[in-house]
Amino acid sequence: MKVLVTGAAGHIGKNLVKAIHQKYELVLTDIKQDDELKQFGHFQHADLAVPEQVDELAKNVDAIVHLGGIATESTYELINRSNFNGTYHIYEAARKHGIKRIVFASSNHAVGFQPINQSIGPDALHMPDTFYGASKAFGENLANMYYQKHAIETASLRIGSYLEKPSEHRNLNTWISVRDMNQLIVCCLEADEISTDVYYGVSSLYNNYFDNRDAALIGYAPQDNPEDFRKEIENVKLENVTDYIGGVFTNFGR
């Protein structure tokens, strides 16, 4: 399988390509140059906001792992250019070139204003907490439209806190380890059918925030457990825990 990975120079992207480069033929891209990536696949510098560059990337590709874009809150203008427009260009290129499988890096911030302690599932209503979160909700809705019109399947991963290990109380419900993130993406690439499924990018199938048991249906079996780190963070100052899943992101712009 030939896989295009956008945002390959980012934290998630680089760890992913190091783990899977022997399994797939990789086309790697990022807006910043990264010579290290050349040892893991064919690297092509590109700006996802430029449709002609995205179109070139998508030629002869079987699937796309779309990690590219701004990964935190920013101005609307920057989020619009990189996340809204960039994601649209990915789907248009997939349509044009007949690519039928996309793994989309969504975010828990697409549902950031959902209250904590109710364990929401994949059908939870979009309640974005930021322009960033709104761009991820947009991406999930775009995926639904392209599936209905063009039969492009998408696994939207509402990623929580991608860290080496949990560092605060909120992470007991939002943390995903490096190897679990890699595993989840591979499960999405290899699944027989995903239509427009939503999975939570956390190292858990069920916790106080997320009901992620649907991910088990495609073979996801987290190897790491945030509870293993509970004692380490019990004495950490309580922070970033609000009444909402999005944590401090729900306070941005107020």
Mind telling me the catalytic residues? 132
Cα radius of gyration rounded to whole Å, the chain: 17
d(C-alpha 132, C-alpha 137), whole Å? 9
Residue 51 belongs to what H/E stretch? helix 51-57
Sign of CA dihedral 205, 171, 162, 231: negative
SS3 content of the chain, % helix, strand, coil (to 5): 40, 20, 40
Helix (H, G, I), strand (E, B) or coil at 135: helix
